[in-house]
Structure 1
């Protein structure tokens, strides 16, 4: 049995909280009692927290929050990275794999934007939180951008299974999930056509995608780029890419979505990513084979501005909050 760490000096902690559900204007930075690691848990001193669309979507109103098991007062944000500063007692499976000083990253549903977060060593992002070792050479801001977007991209690619000889159409390719999906598809040997705005073209090209403007006329523009046809599609925004893919003759079994339900289409959910998927992605980042563009960083005191920027859905890459 592992003895609990004696590093319990922090009695208070800052945390971003909702006292009422709503938009960025409802977010407040509060001083709260510092959480303590119990049996089978670790406490992480958070250095950075990455933002995702799901963060503000699920806290936008009481009904949506209830669907995700959230109630007031509520924390905010899911992706985090930092250093273990407290280890609870082991319980067999327990916390034998972690020690004070370990650098870790992962997810803790709607409570990551805080100085300290307690994680169940055997938990999941949705239940108890999840922690993974941060590879050497990966900084905390980058690690804080991996969990949700990386797992979601991995799950989407598992549905369509791209490989050499495939041409994959990715809708919303410049967003937080898109930057992973594009690069993972390219690493699998596929050609990638990514939809985005005119301002995102250079960013998409840098990731290895061939950019195409979304909106009316998308099918014709894709046909001009790929006269040989498109063989798979991933819609990261809504349903427009699904509709275009069907018009282009892509079979339903090789189309997936992450933000909409479409009859006949298998949706992708990061919670269903294959075991080891996020560790593999972190390894690719550490090896320099996968790039994580950080669009903007904000101090936690500017959390409202950070969320406003992220929620506008016009950034090319990830928005990260420093703690």
Structure 2
């Protein structure tokens, strides 16, 4: 089978021919319909997080996949061949950007029925992370005001939808090209980050969701109301700086959880949208990886075998 693989830290991944894996006890073999790339994949391949997620080369790229069960390993009784499923693999194992993957049966969730499997791969990490942010960390309430940076991104697009579902007033930063997209997702106010300093456009914010980091994190403190919350996704924020200003700050790193993933699948079936930037064949996966690494994707980058 074909698989996109890292061969060394910092190198561009390449498509290799490797054997089809065989499921062991408690595992299943999934024929992959689509895989979604994530910023974490870029960090893993660059060696930036090897203290947390070390990999052994060659290592197949990706954690988020959707497909159909092809073979059951010993002891698996809850699933059947041809079941449509989604899952997230352990980041150190990867394996998603390929034609087949062996995954733990305990991590499988039935795929949504309303959207195709290709799009379903795009909700695995992004939507579940947004659920974690909105419902478990920020616990957004009706009437609160939330600023979502990069609302057209994979996580941001889901934060907008879930925050609106919670009854919050949603403001987001986006480029002019993405303005209509984020408006349809539920943003009530859109700040053009290419021409406006968001600090001049908004204040008294209850929660800021930052998936950008750096200077954006620093400036975000200026728009929060006393006691407001900064939720940082790319890196741990400066907790002391926030506390010194009477503000709260938290770092959210996605923790895989089948119950949470099942919740977002149900929402996808109710009508919430997976925003897809582009879908590419596995033969062009390396170029797709490079595109994601440049940081301007509007929604998910999907790879299909």
Structure-2-length-normalised TM-score: 0.89
Q: Report the alpha carbon displacement of residue 250 of structure 1 after superposing the two structures with TM.
A: 3.0
Task: Tell me the residue number matched to 1:96.
Answer: 77
Counterpart CA distance in 1 for 2:250 and 2:49 is: 23
Residue from 271, 277, 296 that aligns with 1:295: 277
Counterpart CA distance in 2 for 1:113 and 1:267 is: 28
Structure 1 gap ranges (5+): 1-12, 123-129, 224-228
Task: Decide which moves more: 81-90 or 71-80.
Answer: 71-80
Task: Tell me the residue number matched to 2:269.
Answer: 286
Task: Tell me the residue number matched to 1:16.
Answer: 4
Structure 2 gap ranges (5+): 240-248
Are the equivalent residues in 1 in contact too, given 2:4–2:286 (CA < 8 A)?
A: no
Task: Tell me the residue number matched to 1:248.
Answer: 223
Q: Report the alpha carbon displacement of residue 244 of structure 1 after superposing the two structures with TM.
A: 3.6
Task: Tell me the residue number matched to 1:236.
Answer: 211
Residue from 285, 288, 292 that aligns with 1:310: 292
Alpha carbon RMSD of aligned pairs, Å?
1.8
Q: Report the alpha carbon displacement of residue 32 of structure 1 after superposing the two structures with TM.
A: 1.0
Are the equivalent residues in 2 in contact too, given 1:160–1:253 (CA < 8 A)?
A: no
Task: Tell me the residue number matched to 1:270.
Answer: 254
SS of equivalent to 1:195: strand
Q: Report the alpha carbon displacement of residue 111 of structure 1 after superposing the two structures with TM.
A: 1.4
Counterpart CA distance in 2 for 1:64 and 1:242 is: 20
Q: Report the alpha carbon displacement of residue 197 of structure 1 after superposing the two structures with TM.
A: 2.1
Counterpart CA distance in 2 for 1:58 and 1:263 is: 23
Counterpart CA distance in 1 for 2:19 and 2:220 is: 51
Residues 1-323 of structure 1: matches in 2 within 5 Å?
13-23=1-11, 26-61=12-47, 64-90=49-75, 95-108=76-89, 109=91, 110-122=94-106, 130-157=107-134, 158-209=136-187, 210-214=189-193, 217-223=197-203, 229-251=204-226, 254-264=229-239, 265-271=249-255, 276-288=259-271, 290-323=272-305
Structure-1-length-normalised TM-score: 0.84
Q: Report the alpha carbon displacement of residue 251 of structure 1 after superposing the two structures with TM.
A: 4.5
Q: Report the alpha carbon displacement of residue 106 of structure 1 after superposing the two structures with TM.
A: 1.2
Q: Report the alpha carbon displacement of residue 181 of structure 1 after superposing the two structures with TM.
A: 0.7
SS of equivalent to 2:251: coil
